[in-house]
Amino acid sequence: MRWWDDRFLKGEGAKTLRRMSPLIALAVLLLGVAQVEGQSLGGSGASVSRTHRQATSHDFTFLSTSSQVRRFADAGYLVRVRPNRDYTLHDVSFPYSRPEVALFIQRLGSQYRGACGEQLVVTSLTRPRSGQPTNASPLSVHPTGMAVDLRRSRSSSCRRWLESTLLYLEDARVLEATRERTPSHYHVAVFPRQYGQYVATLNANARSGSRVANGARYTVRNGDSLWTIAQRHGTTVSQLRAANGIRGSRIVAGQVLTIPSR
């Protein structure tokens, strides 16, 4: 949302700023900048509260000990996350997560490796309260199994791809992601019910939203937009959105799209 330059600085907004004192006007502009940064994985107290509310709305248990983690895994509430060619685990004490989080890692890992040519690195999954670091928030959802930490790549292009993808999924309201600095990683809280419905919609659209001409799939490249892809394949932006479960216009390099039949 760029109200501070696209809307507020035009018309009546510009007149209002001119009538303000310089300090007040600066404060208004800085508030706009803060809102923009809030959309760039900066994290906030509100974000932590939202993820905690999601955990409680799912009626998830905040596990306290390692034995509880193992009991929940034995009962099937948590599933084991096993590394493959697309992603690996590094120093993960408890390689378990909610099933939807495991699905998220599998899908993201495949897309990440296709876009970047390197494995996605998972550094933390379910973490009982007894194993939380000292700087962890008391509202952390790691003890519920719905969070995953991802290592930041040394490649700037891979970081840009991953951050764009996480922002895209935040826009879809299926997760909350934060770029943490100490240590440097991405903290992702997946909303299991919403993410499961999101993937189910994608799968349903792939099956019935269109019969794909020649089974066509298209991998998004840098510089692509929905409009250019639609023009290239003789379809429309709205049909592309419907076939792929896309609500807005954001797509990212490496994303695989279903091309609807004409």
Q: How many domains does the chain have?
A: 3
Residue 147 lies in a domain: yes
Q: Provide the pLDDT for residue 133.
A: 87
Residues 169 and 217 in one domain: no
> Strand, helix or coil at 180?
strand
C-beta of residue 262 within 8 angstroms of C-beta of residue 235: yes
Final residue in a domain of this structure, among 190, 220, 252? 190
- Which CATH number characterizes residue 249's domain? 3.10.350.10
Distance of alpha carbon 110 from alpha carbon 122, whole angstroms: 13
The tokens describing 64, both together, are: 């306290």
Q: Provide the pLDDT for residue 135.
A: 82
Percent of the chain with pLDDT over 90: 47
Distance of alpha carbon 159 from alpha carbon 197, whole angstroms: 27
148 versus 133: the higher-pLDDT residue is 148
Residues 111 and 216 in one domain: no
Q: Quick: pLDDT tens for 208-234.
A: 544 444 457 888 888 888 888 887 787
- Indicate whether 2 pLDDT > 90: no
Residues 96 and 155 in one domain: yes
- Provide the residue range defining the domain that includes 249: 210-260
Residues 140 and 239 in one domain: no
DSSP-assigned beta bridge partners for residue 88: 121
90 versus 181: the higher-pLDDT residue is 90
The tokens describing 214, both together, are: 């020649």
Q: Quick: pLDDT tens for 5-14.
A: 333 333 434 4
